[in-house]
Amino acid sequence: MNAFILRLVCGLLFTGMVLGVATHPPKDLTQGLGMMLPATMLLGVALKGPKGRSLLQKKRVPPPPPVSGGGTPGV
Half-sphere exposure of 25 (CA within 13 A, CB side): 3
- More confident of the two residues 59 and 11: 11
- Given a contact cutoff of 8 angstroms between Cβ atoms, the answer to whether 65 and 59 are in contact is no
What is the model's pLDDT at position 15?
A: 92
What is the model's pLDDT at position 45?
A: 85
What is the model's pLDDT at position 24?
A: 86
Q: For residue 11, is it within any domain? A: yes
Q: For residue 62, is it within any domain? A: no
Question: Residue 11's domain spans which residues?
Answer: 2-45
Q: For residue 25, is it within any domain? A: yes
What is the model's pLDDT at position 12?
A: 92
Q: For residues 75 and 68, what is the distance between their CA atoms, to the nearest angstrom?
A: 14
Q: For residue 68, is it within any domain? A: no
- More confident of the two residues 1 and 36: 36
List pLDDT tens digits, range 5-57.
888 998 999 999 889 888 888 888 888 888 888 888 888 888 887 775 555 56
- Count structural domains, the chain: 1
| CA-to-CA separations, 48 to 22, 39, 52, in angstroms, rounded | 25, 14, 5
Q: Is 51 left (phi over 0), alpha (psi -120 to 50) or beta?
A: alpha
